[in-house]
Amino acid sequence: MIIIITHKNTDFDALASVMAGTLLFSGAIPVIPKSINPNVKAFLSIHKDIFQYITPDQVDPDAVKKVVVMDVNKWERIEGLASLKNRNDLEVVVWDHHMIPGNIEAQQVCQEKMGATITLMVRELKKERKIITPMQATLFLLGLYEDTGNLTFSSTTAEDAYAAAWLLERKADLSIVNAFLRPAYGEKQKHILFEMLKSANRIKLNGYKISLSRVEIEGHVDSLAVVVRMFREILNVDAAFGIFINTSRKRNIVIGRSNAATLDIGSIMKALGGGGHPGAGSALLKSVSPDAVEELILSLISGNQISSIQISDIMSFPVVTVGADTTMQKTASILRDKGCTGVPVVDNDVLVGIISRRDFRKIRKESNLKSPVKAYMSRNLVTIEPGKSPMEASRLMVRHDVGRLPVVEDGRVIGIVTRSDAMLYFYDQLPD
Ligand SMILES: [Mn+2]
For residue 370, the CA-to-ligand 1 centroid distance in Å is: 66
pLDDT at 305: 47
For residue 12, the CA-to-ligand 1 centroid distance in Å is: 8
Q: Is 27 exposed, middle or buried (0-12, 13-18, 19+ CB in 10 A)?
A: exposed
For residue 105, the CA-to-ligand 1 centroid distance in Å is: 19
pLDDT at 12: 96
For residue 406, the CA-to-ligand 1 centroid distance in Å is: 44
Distance between CA atoms of 238 and 218, rounded to whole angstroms?
28
For residue 17, the CA-to-ligand 1 centroid distance in Å is: 9
For residue 398, the CA-to-ligand 1 centroid distance in Å is: 36
The two beta strands, 251-258 and 280-286, are: antiparallel
For residue 98, the CA-to-ligand 1 centroid distance in Å is: 7
Reduced to 3 states, what is the DSSP secondary structure of residue 174?
A: helix
pLDDT at 306: 44
> Could you list the pLDDT tens digit for every one of the 432 residues in the chain?
999 999 999 999 999 999 999 999 999 999 999 999 888 988 888 887 889 999 999 999 999 999 999 999 999 999 988 889 888 899 999 999 988 888 899 999 999 999 999 999 999 999 999 999 999 999 999 999 999 989 988 889 999 999 999 999 999 999 889 888 876 677 888 899 999 999 898 998 888 899 999 999 987 787 888 899 999 999 999 999 999 998 777 788 999 999 887 888 988 888 888 888 888 899 888 877 888 888 888 888 886 444 456 788 888 888 889 999 999 999 999 999 988 888 999 998 889 999 988 899 888 888 889 999 999 999 988 999 988 877 778 878 888 888 889 999 888 889 999 887 777 766 654 433
For residue 403, the CA-to-ligand 1 centroid distance in Å is: 41
pLDDT at 431: 39
User: For the chain, which domains are there?
Assistant: 2-181 (3.90.1640.10), 187-302 (3.10.310.30), 312-429 (3.10.580.10)
Q: How far is CA 160 from CA 23, 117, 148, 185, in A?
A: 19, 9, 8, 27
Q: How far is CA 350 from CA 73, 322, 326, 414, in A?
A: 59, 11, 15, 11
0.75 exceeded by pTM = no
pLDDT at 426: 65
For residue 143, the CA-to-ligand 1 centroid distance in Å is: 7
For residue 233, the CA-to-ligand 1 centroid distance in Å is: 24
User: Residue 273: CB partners within 8 Å, gap ≥ 6?
Assistant: 283, 284, 285
For residue 14, the CA-to-ligand 1 centroid distance in Å is: 6
For residue 338, the CA-to-ligand 1 centroid distance in Å is: 51
For residue 265, the CA-to-ligand 1 centroid distance in Å is: 17
Query: What is the chain's length?
Result: 432
Reduced to 3 states, what is the DSSP secondary structure of residue 92?
A: strand
Distance between CA atoms of 75 and 67, rounded to whole angstroms?
12
What's the DSSP call for residue 133? -
Cis omega (within 30 of 0) for bond into 134: no
For residue 97, the CA-to-ligand 1 centroid distance in Å is: 7
Nearest to 232 by CA among 222, 247, 242: 242
Q: How far is CA 410 from CA 63, 323, 358, 397, 418, in A?
A: 74, 19, 28, 21, 20
Report residue 133: phi and psi, to 5°: -85, 160
